[in-house]
Structure 1
Amino acid sequence: MKEKHELVKGWLFKADHDLEMAVLALEHKPGLVDAICFHCQQAVEKHPKALLVSWDIEFEKSHSLGYLLDLLNDEEEISDAFYGMLEKLEDYAVDIRYPDEHFEITPEDAREACEIAKLTKEFVLDRIDRQKSS
């Protein structure tokens, strides 16, 4: 298994690529709302996984943002507002990828998903930086 530092870097790398893809699509192909929301959800899923690894908290393979937040909440209290914000992206993990599922996603939903992903990244990086400096 990779060293902890490398695994944290790997999760952050993958999360950043998902976020960058979503932002690029939002700027250049804003009609691709389903893909934008999917990549935002993926970034929001991977950033907390980096923090969990950094904090030595084991987790199961899961797309559930609530599950990941519950694990983080055991270490540091997570606000209800943060839970609520991430809950908005929960359905974008899997169901949005299949043609038999119907989602009404607006360009505003896609913009909001990108903002949530950016805020989640800031949240995670702040805690990783604090851990490094302590």
Structure 2
Amino acid sequence: MSAPDPAREEAGRWYAIASEDLRVAKTCLTLSPPALGNGAYHCQQAAEKMMKGLLVFAGTGFRKVHDLDELADLTSPLYPGLAADLDLCRRYSSWAIECRYPPEDDAPPPSEKSIGAAVTVLERLLAAIRRLA
């Protein structure tokens, strides 16, 4: 029996939180009417936690940021097989803020379709991450 891998265990904790965020995002879409702002926010959070988990797994440090562009820039070179989906996650970066606070303009939240597409990307990414572990 091999010794526990602390980086793998810590990354697993990040992935567990990402999985929960993803579950909440999916649930938001089932509400009547759908909770679009919260669904979008939890998509962003799921992507952020997945990327941070990947960085922990690789032993790479990162700043405490919510910026998915910055996190994707760090993770994509480490995991080229995940780069396409990590790149797609960049578009969810603004959802961390714009969907949690009153809008400064009358911009609507992301659409149900765009959140559904994000959920699909994130489910695929999480499945691929779990295959790495």
- Alpha-carbon shift at residue 50 of structure 1 (Å): 1.1
Count of matched residue pairs: 126
Match of 2:56 in 1: 53
Identity of aligned residues (%): 25
2 CA distance for matches of 1:49 and 1:5? 12
Match of 2:122 in 1: 120
Match of 1:63 in 2: 66
**Which structure 1 residue ranges, 5 or more long, are not aligned?**
none
1:92 aligned to 2:95?
A: yes
1:105 aligned to 2:119?
A: no
TM-score (norm 2): 0.78
The CA RMSD over aligned residues, in Å, is 2.4
Query: Is the contact made by 2:72 and 2:90 (CA closer than 8 Å) also made in structure 1?
Result: no
**Which structure 2 residue ranges, 5 or more long, are not aligned?**
none
Match of 1:5 in 2: 8
- Residue type matched to 1:28 in 2? L
TM-score (norm 1): 0.77
Moved more, 119-128 or 48-57: 119-128
Match of 1:31 in 2: 34
